Amino acid sequence: MKLDELIAIDVHTHATVSCRQPSDEVWQAYEAAANAYFKVDGKRPSIAETIAYYRERKIGLVMFTVDTEHEIGSRRISNQEVADAAAENSDMMIAFASVDPHKGRMGVREARELIAGGVIKGFKFHPTTQGFFPNERMAYKLYEVIAEHKLPAIFHSGHSGIGTGMRAGGGLRLKYSNPMHIDDVAVDFPDMTIIIAHPSWPWQDEALSIALHKPNVYIDLSGWLPKYFPPQLVQYGNGQLRTKLLFGSDYPLIAPDRWIASFREAGFKPETYDLILKQNAIRALGLGLT
């Protein structure tokens, strides 16, 4: 990344429309429910359109797909497509991969092959839509590969807009995304950077405690407009966790322009702005110093 040319780094953006494969019909019902929950229209940008959007704004981005093939049965967008896009836009884009831990040895093999390609710089897990507790031993072989290569991992936490309002919540179970399950992973993999995604409602205090207690744990602030943040999140962001909070939007569900405007009015001290919008991500992602 050309860090000096970027005004911010968004650590949480989604690849939602492939440039190489049609939309999966199984996923469309979940996408419609998410649109209703986040109050956005049904049009999603392609990977190329997303990159152009961020380039115009001089905002760096971390992009990933989510592998929900086991729990939901929806065909994922290829990790390789995201990696190829990042390789072509390496001045402002980083690719994370998503491999469902249920894929076992084949998943570990895929992770190693993706890392060997030299473009994938981290991994994304969504315990609710993948149907696993982060501290389940079946996932540890995958974490071992990530830790071996000193790459970060993002874990969804808290409520999920995916499945909200669907019959039986789309069959998805919120219990998997209590961030306290991530505490075990932080202990067992102390040299792997862990990013707890989102304000972790209804378990916000658990996430703050883990990030305060474990040096390798950060929190990304995606999925909520900052004006709705729990007050204790803003309090710790102004204090003990000012170097542990990361700008994330959850684009395209929340636009970065809208998120940043809300952030500047949410009670964060001006001296935290550059830390949260950019500098903390540089450290968490291992990008070096500007």
- d(CA 105, CA 196) in angstroms, rounded, equals 25
Q: Where are the domains of the chain?
A: 3-284
Burial class (CB in 10 A: 0-12, 13-18, 19+), 31: middle
E strand or H helix at 219? strand 217-220
Q: Are 245 and 221 in contact (CB under 8 A)?
A: yes
Q: Which CATH architecture has domain 3-284?
A: Alpha-Beta Barrel (3.20)
pLDDT(289) > 50: no
- d(CA 116, CA 104) in angstroms, rounded, equals 19
Pairing, β 93-97 against β 245-246: unpaired
Tokens 């993948």: give the residue: 130
Q: What mean pLDDT is reported for the chain?
A: 96
* Residue 107 pLDDT: 97
* Residue 290 pLDDT: 38
pTM of the model: 0.96
- d(CA 183, CA 197) in angstroms, rounded, equals 14
123-178: per-residue pLDDT in tens?
A: 999 999 999 999 999 999 999 999 999 999 999 999 999 999 999 999 999 999 99
Tokens 């831990």: give the residue: 101
Burial class (CB in 10 A: 0-12, 13-18, 19+), 146: buried
* Residue 191 pLDDT: 93
240-275: per-residue pLDDT in tens?
A: 999 999 999 999 999 999 999 999 999 999 999 999
